[in-house]
Amino acid sequence: MNHPNAPMTPSALAVLTVLTVLAAFTAPASAQDARPTSVTPLRTVQSFDAIADPQERSRALFVEAGRVIQSPRCVNCHPSGDRPLQGQGVQTRLHIPNVTRGADGKGVPALRCSSCHQVKNNDASGVPGHALWHVAPREMAWQNLSLGEICEQIKDPARNGRRTLAQIHEHMAHDTLVGWAWMPGAHREPAPGTQAQFGELVDAWIRTGAFCPAK
């Protein structure tokens, strides 16, 4: 019989971690985030044609795209600290268990993201997944920033992974991990609209000068 104060073995710790994660994602329905009843579509690019001033139209386009950028599906993986978020809306909370981003954004050696998040959503457990699952770099944090601040960050090569605006569009319009935001599984509310609509808004924002909303 183990002594009650004896340290846990690595295998026991791993089992406890997995059970903790499953408990967080498979809590009774009353304790989970509410299942979405509807998702409001994004406005089309053409709906902004009535704004004559290109700069104002550019800003308005980014505000609409910002409905995706500032949704929990995106912000949860762009935290300001080393710990990602879970949940949606007012129920957003720190990730359980207490994981951290690590040097490569994929966790620390003892608890990698892939330990629980597999290559696709696990419908049985409710644990989300994707082959590229990771936390965004610290310089790409969106949590607690205004939309104007996020916009300036997205345009800054020092804080956007050295991407050009064309590469930013490609990433947002076609990256499959970004696309997970519209297929989150379980009881998670997807991002507004579709990835294609989001990509069109970002493209139009760039073509109108990539102006940012006020900070």
Distances (CA, A) of 59 to 47, 52, 62, 151: 14, 12, 5, 10
Q: Where are the domains of the chain?
A: 47-207
Residues of the chain scoring pLDDT < 50: 1-38
For the question of whether the overall pTM of this predicted structure is more than 0.75, the answer is yes
Say which residue the tokens 């205004």 belong to. 146
| Interacting residues of 10 by C-beta distance below 8 A, sequence separation 6+ | none
The pairing of beta strand 107-108 with beta strand 93-94: unpaired
* pLDDT number for residue 90: 66
Q: Please, which residues bridge with residue 108 across strands?
A: 111
Give residue 49's pLDDT.
Answer: 97
For residue 43, give both structure tokens.
Answer: 């406005």
pLDDT at 160: 97
The amino acid sitting at 60 is: A
pLDDT of residue 174: 98
**Using CA atoms, how far apart are residues 7 and 60, in angstroms rounded to an integer?**
56
Residue 39's pLDDT is what? 67
3-state SS record for 84-143: CEECCHHHCEECCCCCCCCCCCCEECCEEHHHCCCCECCCCCCCCCECCCCCCCHHHCCC
Q: What is the pLDDT of residue 142?
A: 97
- What's the CA gap between 166 and 164, in Å, rounded? 5
What's phi and psi for 88, nearest 5 deg? -150, 150
So what's the pLDDT on residue 12? 39
